[in-house]
Amino acid sequence: MALRLPGVLCALLALALSTAVRAGTVQVAVAANFTEPMKTIAADFEKDTGNTVQLSFGSTGKFYAQIKNGAPFDVFLSADEATPARLEKEGSAVAGSAFTYATGRLVLWSAKPGVVDAQGDVLKKSDFKNIAIASPKLAPYGAAAVQTLTHLGLLATVQPKLVTGESIGQTFSFVSTGNAELGFVALSQVYANGQIKSGSGWIVPENLHAPIRQDAVELDHAKGNSTATALLDYLKGNKARAVIRSFGYGV
């Protein structure tokens, strides 16, 4: 005897099966400075679409090397615009897919209140033991920190005190744990509800360094993966942009 299901139940079952078939997975390499915003955006994307996002966080320079060596990433959220453009030129990314998803801000920050003043004059006093920056060769925020110090005429003075992290994530760890008294980190790492949420900091004026335009790109590995394209489209939407702004980025 055949089992007959009510019409509504049949429709719900068909919808569930259809959603399961459509759901996909996307592997995303994310610049360390964008860790918290992307965790939120990925969770929203999964909830809204039923797809799965698998995130990896690290330095832009290291991700470039991994991608060139065949790492199976579908989407790359870089901390700069040059690396995605280079991947497109070299045929490792889908031509024309790169776009700026955020504009980063640099901040001189200490985990302790009162250490960094609102004008950044602590740099001129130079009465600190060490200062952390990300590697300028691997991390765009590190390059921006060097440009800032150079612009201020302080690089030579500060150079002996520099502690270098391989990524902005490691640099933030140096400062947040007190292993470095202060350091140049991404504003997004210390920003919430329109202000620096703890410690003390100086938001570096944007004219002291080159713009930190952060580009996303669809990688060659993603060909045929509609979930990768959907995630990139989602990043351009109002919901994701609101999250990005809430962490102190420009969009």
pLDDT value at residue 15: 41
pLDDT value at residue 19: 41
Rounded Cα distance, 245 and 102, in Å: 8
* Domain-embedded: residue 140: yes
pLDDT value at residue 6: 56
Residues in contact with 41: Cβ distance below 8 Å, sequence separation at least 6, in sequence order: 234, 235, 240, 243, 244
Rounded Cα distance, 12 and 6, in Å: 10
Region 61-87 average pLDDT = 96
* Domain-embedded: residue 114: yes
CA 207-180-79 angle, 5° bins: 45
Judgement on whether residues 183 and 219 belong to the same structural domain of the protein: no
Judgement on whether residues 67 and 160 belong to the same structural domain of the protein: no
Count of domains observed in the chain: 2
Q: Residue 29 in contact with residue 53, Cβ under 8 Å? A: no
The model's pTM is 0.79
Q: Return the bridge partners of 68, or none.
A: none
Mean pLDDT (the chain, rounded): 91
The per-residue pLDDT for range 18-38, each reduced to its tens digit, is 444 457 999 999 998 999 999
- Strands in 99-104's sheet, in edge-to-edge order, are 52-58, 25-31, 75-77, 212-218, 99-104
Rounded Cα distance, 137 and 135, in Å: 5
CATH number at residue 168: 3.40.190.10
Judgement on whether residues 65 and 130 belong to the same structural domain of the protein: no
Q: Residue 79 in contact with residue 141, Cβ under 8 Å? A: yes
CA 39-111-133 angle, 5° bins: 75
Q: Which domain holds residue 70?
A: 25-103+212-246
Written as six digits, the tokens of 32 are 């360390």
12 has a pLDDT exceeding 60: no
pLDDT value at residue 32: 87
The per-residue pLDDT for range 208-245, each reduced to its tens digit, is 999 999 999 999 999 989 999 999 999 999 999 999 99
Residues constituting the chain? 251
Judgement on whether residues 199 and 174 belong to the same structural domain of the protein: yes
Which of the two residues, 8 and 44, has the higher pLDDT score?
A: 44
